[in-house]
Amino acid sequence: MSDTRGLLDRISAFRQRLDATPQLIPDALLVDPGDHIGIVSEAETFRLSLKRIAGGDPEVTEKPRPQPQFTERAQRLLARAKELLDRQRKFTEDPLFAAYAGGTEPDALVDYHRETVGVLDSSVRLAQAFPDSAGAQLKMCEGLTGLLAVVQDRLSIQERVLAERRRDSDRIDRLAGFFAALHCNLPTTLEAVAALAEEVLEDARLAKPIRFVSAPVDSAHAPGGAVAFPVPARFVAAHALNVAQVVARIVPFDYEWAARPLAPVVAALLMDCGMVTVPSALLAKTDPLTPDDRRVLEAHPKLGAELLLWRFPNLAGPLAAAIATHHERADGTGYPGGLHGSQVPPLGRLLRVADVYAALSENRPHRPAADPRAALTEVLLMAEQRQIDRDFAEYLLNLSYYPVNTVVELTDGRTGVVVANHANRLDPRAPGRPVVAVLTDAEGAMLPRAEHLDLSAADHGSIVKAVPAARRRELLGSRYPDLV
């Protein structure tokens, strides 16, 4: 971050000097070039400011030459540049972004921000080279206009990405706060969870893609956050949110819950509340669990249901029953009760399917996240083996093998992002042949604009695989940080 910080410091110096003047560029400025007083024209004032930004000597050593005034268009561009400088500085000073910038892991948003700062610095250097004549100034204004438009677009993108991350962190913290209050016997209400469930449902109604969120097992607070939660509350909350997102998208296909989807989503948010008492060291293990480890872990469904009923005696029976049985299996090998088939309530079986799919789609200490096709295939295989409910597992086909926003590699080597899926359960090929916005050519070079390809209508070509996170960052991070 040292290069970026240097650029921002230079840009900040420019902003501070502009802020210190009553106008963008004053008509005249008194300076003391040694032992006499001189008058500096507005053009020279701007030239000296830019000289300081570029690292020149801030002391005036000789009487400057009078320079022509800037044209009206140039002054408008300089005012616009100042606004963009202020936006960039505000973004850089945001505590959430500062936490990502100060982290040790590579981050696409940090890289993207660094390039934005570079473009902004180039804009300032172009302004530094404004010629004397008004005609030549107007020609250079064309280039500066283009650069500032690029900066504005990039700022809008990085601000949107940071806003999405802030929303995710806020949701994790709200649910983690509920879990902490539940276990510490502090005042709390189920209305807070219901409000969060409504937000998740609204995202599904608007057909927004699932954003699998995450928090490290030992996470006590959000990046840049000041409120600490008992470990592993944030880790548990992140997984619960992922399960709730899956439930919100498949519950419309269930005849029992389609008309009242709030209850299943609330149950998904609450089902792992008993896991907050599981030691974080156990959840972070990369070795196989011992029998003692399993006994501790497998107690959480019953503990969670009992805790909720104790704190909220009026909690609906189906919700408590679903929370207590969401790890039971149709073949009787689940926990905590070893129930068989119809002994497990329908909502418990629905939660089990969404729980498995979400868990496979997340990074865990002992394994990386599976790509969407592998996760869905694994769930369908488990359904064939009677480990989970087959009917509920088939609902996941509506998410497709490649859900919207999945970055994929095509058979010809091009890279794209899934933008739509064909809802046709009668066509076994439909889940694997979505509409793709192609973003790069076969060599990985970025296309000037996306090219849309409907694989279901194409005579040849298909998806090879979903692109791993590291490769997404390499290919798309400089243009599409929201896809990394």
pLDDT band at 29 (very low <50, low <70, confident <90, very high): very low
Residue 127 lies in a domain: yes
Residue 169 lies in a domain: no
* pLDDT above 50: residue 120: yes
* pLDDT above 50: residue 286: yes
Report, as an integer, the average pLDDT of 151-169: 96
**In this structure, are 108 and 205 located in the same domain?**
no
**In this structure, are 285 and 157 located in the same domain?**
no
**Which of 74-78, 252-256, 353-357, 470-474 shows the lowest mean pLDDT across its residues?**
74-78
**In this structure, are 346 and 293 located in the same domain?**
yes
In this prediction, residue 8 carries a pLDDT of 63
pLDDT band at 28 (very low <50, low <70, confident <90, very high): very low
Residue 258 lies in a domain: yes
Report, as an integer, the average pLDDT of 265-279: 97
Question: Does 327 or 79 have the greater pLDDT score?
Answer: 327
**In this structure, are 72 and 126 located in the same domain?**
yes
Residue 176 lies in a domain: no
List pLDDT tens digits, range 438-471: 999 999 999 999 999 999 888 888 999 999 998 9
* pLDDT above 50: residue 483: yes
* pLDDT above 90: residue 285: yes
**In this structure, are 125 and 30 located in the same domain?**
yes
Task: Please state the domain count of the chain.
Answer: 3
In this prediction, residue 138 carries a pLDDT of 79
Residue 108 lies in a domain: yes
Write the burial class of residue 103 (CB in 10 Å: 0-12 exposed, 13-18 middle, 19+ buried).
exposed
Say how far apart CA 289 and CA 283 lie, in whole Å: 10
* pLDDT above 50: residue 137: yes
**In this structure, are 201 and 68 located in the same domain?**
no
**In this structure, are 136 and 24 located in the same domain?**
yes
Q: What's the CATH number where 393 sits?
A: 1.10.3210.10
Cis-peptide, bond into residue 232, ω within 30° of zero: yes
pLDDT band at 340 (very low <50, low <70, confident <90, very high): confident
Domain boundary among 146, 163, 180: 163
- Asked if residues 182 and 188 have their Cβ atoms less than 8 Å apart, the reply is yes
* pLDDT above 70: residue 146: yes
**In this structure, are 392 and 415 located in the same domain?**
no
**In this structure, are 444 and 364 located in the same domain?**
no
Share of the chain above pLDDT 90, in %: 67
Domain boundary among 348, 372, 399: 399
**In this structure, are 412 and 479 located in the same domain?**
yes
In this prediction, residue 42 carries a pLDDT of 40
* pLDDT above 60: residue 257: yes
Residue 39 vs residues 24, 28, 31, 52, 236: alpha-carbon distances, Å: 17, 6, 7, 18, 66
List pLDDT tens digits, range 391-416: 999 999 999 899 999 999 999 999 99
Mean residue pLDDT across the chain: 86
- Asked if residues 273 and 179 have their Cβ atoms less than 8 Å apart, the reply is yes
**In this structure, are 391 and 417 located in the same domain?**
no
In this prediction, residue 53 carries a pLDDT of 44
Residue 256 lies in a domain: yes
**In this structure, are 152 and 106 located in the same domain?**
yes
Residue 307 lies in a domain: yes
Domain boundary among 399, 434, 468: 399
In this prediction, residue 6 carries a pLDDT of 65
Q: Which domain holds residue 211?
A: 189-399
Residue 64 lies in a domain: yes
In this prediction, residue 376 carries a pLDDT of 95
Report, as an integer, the average pLDDT of 320-331: 94
* pLDDT above 50: residue 166: yes
List pLDDT tens digits, range 213-247: 999 999 999 998 889 999 999 999 999 999 999 99
In this prediction, residue 133 carries a pLDDT of 75
* pLDDT above 80: residue 59: no
